[in-house]
Structure 1
Amino acid sequence: MQYDNTLVLACAGSGKTYGMCNDSRSLSEESTKKVLMLSYTHKGIHSIKKEYAKQNNGVLDKNVVISTWFQFILKELIRPYQRSFLEKFSQIRSIDFSNMYGVDYAKRNSKSYFLNRNNDVKANRASEFALLLNILSDGAVLKRLEDTYACIYIDELQDLVGKDIELIELLFLSSIKIYCVGDYKQSTLKTHNPRTDRKKGGMHVFSYLETCRDSHRINIVKNNTSKRFVSDIADFANLVYPNEPIIGALETEEQAIGVFQILQTDVDAYIRQLKPNILKYDVKTPTLGYPSLNFGVSKGMTLERVLIFPNKPLSSFLLDPSKGLKAPDKYYVGVTRARYSLAFVVEKLKPNQYFFEDSINLDGNEIKVLRFKI
């Protein structure tokens, strides 16, 4: 059975943002109402704007609103109806992110529970406050959204947790078309530290919403084929995060294609020849002085080639990938950025059942590597 609401569960590089923008463009041409596109991070917003403009001759249509999750909650849900709680207008101006992952012990539903001393909304209570305002206003918060927007698109759904999910459920039951996309394997960020409903949000949000398929009129679409990278990168990513294996569909004639381990002594030549972007798990991971990005920062990026300086858990994984990785989310993000080649810097080349002795040509010289192959 097909429904108006859509939940897209798709792997890295499968075209989630492209599909969302393509759908929103067709809807914005048909509807007299506005279209709202949301993402948790500013980087996500930049990606949406870039993709929409790319598909639309460089133009962002005037009836398309692109916003962060917290901007949406503040501007659309809280500020217009703050009087329902405060009995005054123009008291709430901003979001307070200072303790978004912390805990305070204010009395539930009191003013200090939702707001700081400057009447800024506490980030970790923003969705909960919006839900309360909808109740206090007899549903006026939701009604205003229904009158304004034909569709709401939500990118990176796996970043939402706690009361965010209850808010999304309310949207699913509205007259607004809801279109959500995400990948539970990339659940490396979260909007706040939820006190309840921990099994509804983050990496669990897709499995939870699947149980609501009929009651919330959700059409569920799954796509495990990535157009971003070659098959060897997909195969390696499946070792990092084995659940629901992905397929790499990119075909290319580029040189040095695949997944490798290279020696520290060959890093200079590798960087000069192939010009990879350098990634690492976090700031604690040494990179021999080379400028680099953390895995989390690289989320959402598509890069030509990636060179990773592994931390201790990843180094152990490379020695024996069959043992797996604990908390693989960040690692999965890191290894699914590159299109053509993914390389790891190691002190010694130690072959195993997944990495075999081979060589690649750099500046006319053959260097020894370990090549990944299943």
Structure 2
Amino acid sequence: MPPSNKIVFASAGAGKTTEIVTQALSMRPRKVAIATFTLKNVEEIRRKLIELNGWVPPEITIYPWYTFVLHEMVRPYQGCVHQERVAGVHFAKGATRTYVQKADVARYYCDRENQAYSDRLGDFALLCNETSDGKVIRRLNDMFAHIFVDEVQDLARFDIDVLELLLRSPIAISLVGDIRQSTYRTSYATKNKKFCGRGFILKAEAWKKAGLCEVTYMAQSRRCIQPICDVADLIFPDLPKAQSKNESRTVHEGVFVVRTVHVEEYRRQYQPQVLRLDRRFGAGLPAENFGMVKGERLHASDTGY
């Protein structure tokens, strides 16, 4: 097993972004890549680099996940299977159903504008690597000494197979995520369905057993007080118990059950940030969806393709 391959499952507020950035900075002058799913987390990583280093050094490249797969895995060797340059990414709503055979590469992986379906992009990358006799991975190995993938709990379906391809490569790989914050999916195809979200732990343990990586836990939180950590642990009893490192104190803190008739009075008195599962919830109050707080979904106009 390459000793540098690792998967880290971190609690909310454990400082995983700081850890990734600190490690990436320590590897200079070697070049590293940091890939993550949400645009919000791309900006968070960039801000942390500037905070700790003053600027984003040229040795570190930050990618949204789809950008990494398209630019660095599909496009360089797509000519082995598809003659026209892939124009960008078609962000699929749910699982793509085109009812054509995989052998028809142009129609199976891309829409009429030659944009690759997001839920099949990972599979496209695997095909490019296989057909080019491994040139995709050899190129990445020439480019980067280390690849970090953050928010790994959001990667799904064929993207999980892309992660395994990376773990089996000569490149040092670090995968970091928080199973408790599994909000989005890179794909809604049926492939690897049981390994999505919290199920990713099962895949991580299988990779560990196969000798592909180490698996560790950052079971601490600088963001949450201990009562909130304890409630989160009740929802995920199989994970290590999180220990609060938050030493700040306020006049009103803890976990409370508020009756519906008291919600408006509670809001006026304490001015909390109201979070909800989706717009059907929230007791009619100004609120943010959990997903929007965690990160912003990629849109075609934002990717720079």
Q: What residue in structure 1 maps to residue 112 of structure 2?
A: 117
Amino acid at match of 2:86: I
Q: What residue in structure 1 maps to residue 88 of structure 2?
A: 94
- Separation in 2, partners of 1:10, 1:101: 29
Kept after mapping to 1: 8 A contact 2:87/2:115: yes
Q: What residue in structure 2 maps to residue 49 of structure 1?
A: 46
Q: How does 1:1-374 map to 2 (within 5 A)?
A: 3-27=3-27, 29-31=28-30, 34-57=31-54, 59-86=55-82, 88=83, 91-111=85-105, 112-213=107-208, 215-244=210-239, 245-263=241-259, 267=263, 270-288=266-284, 290-299=285-294
Number of residue pairs the alignment of both structures matches: 294
Provide TM-score, normalisation by structure 1.
0.73
- Separation in 1, partners of 2:104, 2:280: 41
Aligned with 1:228: secondary structure? Answer: coil
Call closer, same or farther: CA 1:163–1:265 in 2, change over 3 Å: closer
- Separation in 1, partners of 2:13, 2:99: 42
| Unaligned ranges ≥5, structure 2 | 297-305
Q: What residue in structure 2 maps to residue 319 of structure 1?
A: none
Provide TM-score, normalisation by structure 2.
0.88
Post-superposition Cα deviations, 1:287-341, rounded to whole Å, max 9, x if no partner, equal: 33x321012222269xxxxxxxxxxxxxxxxxxxxxxxxxxxxxxxxxxxxxxxx
- Separation in 2, partners of 1:125, 1:139: 19
Post-superposition Cα deviations, 1:105-127, rounded to whole Å, max 9, x if no partner, equal: 21123221111122111111101
Kept after mapping to 2: 8 A contact 1:152/1:176: yes
Call closer, same or farther: CA 1:146–1:100 in 2, change over 3 Å: farther
- 1:266 Cα deviation (Å)? 5.3
- 1:178 Cα deviation (Å)? 0.5
| % same residue | 31
- Separation in 1, partners of 2:195, 2:260: 43
Aligned with 1:47: secondary structure? Answer: helix
- 1:162 Cα deviation (Å)? 1.6
Aligned with 2:175: secondary structure? Answer: strand
* Pair member with larger Rg: 1
Amino acid at match of 1:247: Q
- Separation in 1, partners of 2:93, 2:282: 30
- Separation in 2, partners of 1:253, 1:80: 53
| Unaligned ranges ≥5, structure 1 | 302-374
- 1:50 Cα deviation (Å)? 1.7
- Separation in 1, partners of 2:142, 2:150: 22
Kept after mapping to 1: 8 A contact 2:274/2:282: no
Post-superposition Cα deviations, 1:199-245, rounded to whole Å, max 9, x if no partner, equal: 33432222212222254531221122212111111122223333323
- 1:286 Cα deviation (Å)? 4.1
- Separation in 2, partners of 1:137, 1:253: 58
Bigger strand fraction: 1
- 1:182 Cα deviation (Å)? 0.8
Aligned with 2:208: secondary structure? Answer: coil
Kept after mapping to 1: 8 A contact 2:89/2:117: yes
Q: What residue in structure 2 maps to residue 329 of structure 1?
A: none
Post-superposition Cα deviations, 1:115-144, rounded to whole Å, max 9, x if no partner, equal: 112211111110111111111111111111
- Separation in 1, partners of 2:282, 2:59: 47
